[in-house]
Structure 1
Amino acid sequence: MNRKVFEERLQEIRMSEFDAGLYQQFYRAVQPQISALRGVLAELQAKKKERQWSRHQTSGELDDGKIIEGITGERSIYRRRTEQEPPPGAPPDKPKRLRLVLDVSGSMYRFNSYDGRLERSMEAVVLLTEALKGYESRIRYDMYAHSGEEHALELVRVDRPPDNEKERLQIIRTMHAHAQFCWSGDNTLPAMRHAITTLAGKDADEAILVVLSDANLRRYGISPQELGSILMSDPRVQAHVVFIGSLGDEANTLLRALPVGHAHVCMEVSSLPHIMQQIFASSLLQNS
């Protein structure tokens, strides 16, 4: 019966058994983390302050419910519109907006045998797309990639998240193929500028940018100061960089030089749910 259901599922999404087995390899690698990240997403709360009536004020608009108190001489009979923090655990009225920007540069492919950076990025995509299923009311996301040739290669449209295993496999196949055959170079900074500019104008509870990078920036003359400046360039977007690869101590060196709380090192995909939890939690500490 299981085999029949499996074959019907493959036929439904037009996926071969080979492709299904390939996808399962990535899925099984992150299956425990999917559950962990879904737990994080379930606890997301609103960030935006809400305009509410504050009663018992000594000035403002007359509170109809306190007319009798006004006749008897009570002074606190007015109400005013004020911004109040949302109660803990309150779901956002508007969905949060998340953009994941992936590094698919040639160095990701070239040094994958060194530290598994490209494979880890592909696992991260499976982890995020699987975990975000069913949370569209809380968070809307898209995914872009950058390389020596591209600064905004669209992988996932915000209005068309991957619907099944075949579509998720296509995303990671595109990542692998681009990294394997693209020209050398680095477009990390243009990719970040493009993402921040795009997200800044979105009407959402908050906008969050997560950039995956292999930390191979010094080779292209990119300084931590430049990277940090872009990370903090627009208060409307909470921007973070996650170093998912490193030659020697490059990632940790960058981590120490970048704004605190906006840079992370992820050398094991199992740590990604915790990093995402940190990112969501730190954004709540920022002013709306």
Structure 2
Amino acid sequence: MEWRNMIGQDDRNVQITINRDSGEDVSSPKHGKEDPDNMPHVGGNTWAGGTGGRDTAGLGGKGGPYRLDAGHTVYQVSQAEKDAVPEEVKRAAREMGQRAFQQRLKEIQMSEYDAATYERFSGAVRRQVHSLRIILDNLQAKGKERQWLRHQATGELDDAKIIDGLTGEKAIYKRRGDLEPQLGSPQQKPKRLRLVVDVSGSMYRFNRMDGRLERTMEAVCMVMEAFENYEEKFKYDIVGHSGDGYNIGLVPIHKIPKDNKQRLEILKTMYAHSQFCMSGDHTLEGTEHAIKEIVKEEADEYFVIVLSDANLSRYGIHPAKFAQILTSDPQVNAFAIFIGSLGDQAMRLQRTLPAGRSFVAMDTKDIPQILQQIFTSTMLSNV
């Protein structure tokens, strides 16, 4: 009952994390020895992939250079122990993690195309890509056009209405103004989308529990495939947010991946970043920056969609602040999609945000319907 009161009712498998005090000091970060039998190691500082230990790459420990999931039950040292790690050890671990990340990026870019790995993501969203392309085909123009508004009571005299003026007609003037586009009219400018995705350490840490990182990678794969050849209607870019920063470039607007190999490199980079990045959260900063940046380029309509694992409370982030940022610019249609949750955390967070601004998607197949709701809701907002 205490668990349900704290976390909420949930039909899926959940995990209880047990914190332990190791009572051991850290020394210097290292990868650790590889166990050829992949046996579970708890609380030591020798083996790579252990849990609840120190100095080595693993999960739930302290002082290690980066995360490494070997598939075992996770034992977690307390946050107080992690906070007490000396700054020089944290700095050394950070530098080692950065070197490992840069090496991994080189390997990703130089590796041969792995068709089977890409098919794992692409095949999972093939039907959703088709659905999303149908939605894109049917999007209407939204941007107002600057035109002459006729039959006005004030403004410049309309030459075509001079005779009407002689007969006493008052509405014989014209003036420049914004006119709503007619239904079905072609877009004068492309719509603009920025996808802000969560590539934080918690995505890697809890991926084995609920598949949140792979679900995010599937969503990104879906967007990259579905928006291909729709550049005249929709320009997009993708950035990440994590403990390392709020504007991590993944897919620049002028460097959209053109084939499956390039798309697979993006997905592998997301996975690697969540493994090697620092702990922390920049959801609010990433959302705010995206909203401010996207309007710098003229577009028919603006969308910012944030993918997050709803793990805001761990970092003391109040939902009211997130809600304020999502609604900070009336020009920008900003939404959050929660793709991971401990218990019913995502549902409870959704209830505190403005109605229609957030969605929960624990299955990638739900995302095209959510995007359709997002796109069509803006079309209906001014009706």
Compute the TM-score of the two structures, normalised by the length of structure 2: 0.67
Q: Do the aligned partners of residues 228 and 58 (structure 1) sit closer, same or farther apart at CA in structure 2, a change above 3 Å counting? A: closer
Counterpart check, 1:192 vs 2:263: no
Q: Report the Cα offset of residue 142 of structure 1.
A: 0.6
How far apart in 2 are the matches of 1:40 and 1:69? 46
Q: Report the Cα offset of residue 75 of structure 1.
A: 4.4
Per-residue CA deviation, residues 208-253 of structure 1 (Å, 9 max, x unaligned), is 1101000111111111111111111222222111000111000000
Q: Which moved more, 1:193-202 or 1:135-144?
A: 193-202
Q: Report the Cα offset of residue 74 of structure 1.
A: 4.5
How far apart in 2 are the matches of 1:19 and 1:144? 24
- 3-state DSSP of counterpart to 1:152: strand
How far apart in 2 are the matches of 1:247 and 1:171? 27
Match for residue 318 of structure 2? 223
Matches within 5 A, 1:143-162: 143-162=238-257
Match for residue 10 of structure 1? none
Matched residues, number:
274
- Which residue of 91, 95, 105 maps to 2:190? 95
Per-residue CA deviation, residues 9-41 of structure 1 (Å, 9 max, x unaligned), is xxxxx9987611211121111000101001111
- 3-state DSSP of counterpart to 1:260: coil
Match for residue 272 of structure 2? 177
Q: Report the Cα offset of residue 121 of structure 1.
A: 0.5
How far apart in 1 are the matches of 2:349 and 2:335? 13
Match for residue 356 of structure 2? 261
- Give aligned-pair identity as a percent: 55
Per-residue CA deviation, residues 101-160 of structure 1 (Å, 9 max, x unaligned), is 110111111111111111110000110010001110111111101111222110011111
How far apart in 1 are the matches of 2:235 and 2:113? 31
Q: Do the aligned partners of residues 62 and 254 (structure 1) sit closer, same or farther apart at CA in structure 2, a change above 3 Å counting? A: same
Q: Do the aligned partners of residues 59 and 194 (structure 1) sit closer, same or farther apart at CA in structure 2, a change above 3 Å counting? A: closer
How far apart in 1 are the matches of 2:243 and 2:173? 61
How far apart in 1 are the matches of 2:318 and 2:184? 39
- Which one-letter code corresponds to 1:282 in the other structure? S
How far apart in 2 are the matches of 1:146 and 1:176? 13
Q: Do the aligned partners of residues 231 and 76 (structure 1) sit closer, same or farther apart at CA in structure 2, a change above 3 Å counting? A: closer
- Which residue of 45, 51, 57 maps to 2:140? 45
Counterpart check, 1:132 vs 2:227: yes
How far apart in 1 are the matches of 2:343 and 2:328? 29
How far apart in 1 are the matches of 2:127 and 2:177? 43
Question: Normalized per residue, which structure has more helix?
Answer: 1
Q: Which moved more, 1:78-87 or 1:272-281?
A: 78-87
Matches within 5 A, 1:3-152: 19-71=114-166, 74-152=169-247
Per-residue CA deviation, residues 68-92 of structure 1 (Å, 9 max, x unaligned), is 4445555443333332211123232
Matches within 5 A, 1:203-242: 203-242=298-337
- Which one-letter code corresponds to 1:103 in the other structure? D
Match for residue 248 of structure 1? 343
> Could you list the runs of 5+ residues in structure 1 that have no partner in the other structure?
1-13
Q: Report the Cα offset of residue 60 of structure 1.
A: 2.9
CA contact (8 A) 2:153 2:172 kept: yes
Q: Do the aligned partners of residues 178 and 70 (structure 1) sit closer, same or farther apart at CA in structure 2, a change above 3 Å counting? A: same
- Which one-letter code corresponds to 2:266 in the other structure? I
- Which one-letter code corresponds to 1:38 in the other structure? R
Q: Do the aligned partners of residues 193 and 55 (structure 1) sit closer, same or farther apart at CA in structure 2, a change above 3 Å counting? A: closer
Q: Do the aligned partners of residues 16 and 177 (structure 1) sit closer, same or farther apart at CA in structure 2, a change above 3 Å counting? A: closer
Q: Report the Cα offset of residue 172 of structure 1.
A: 0.4
Counterpart check, 1:276 vs 2:374: no
Larger Rg: 2
Q: Which moved more, 1:26-35 or 1:175-184?
A: 175-184
How far apart in 1 are the matches of 2:110 and 2:126? 20
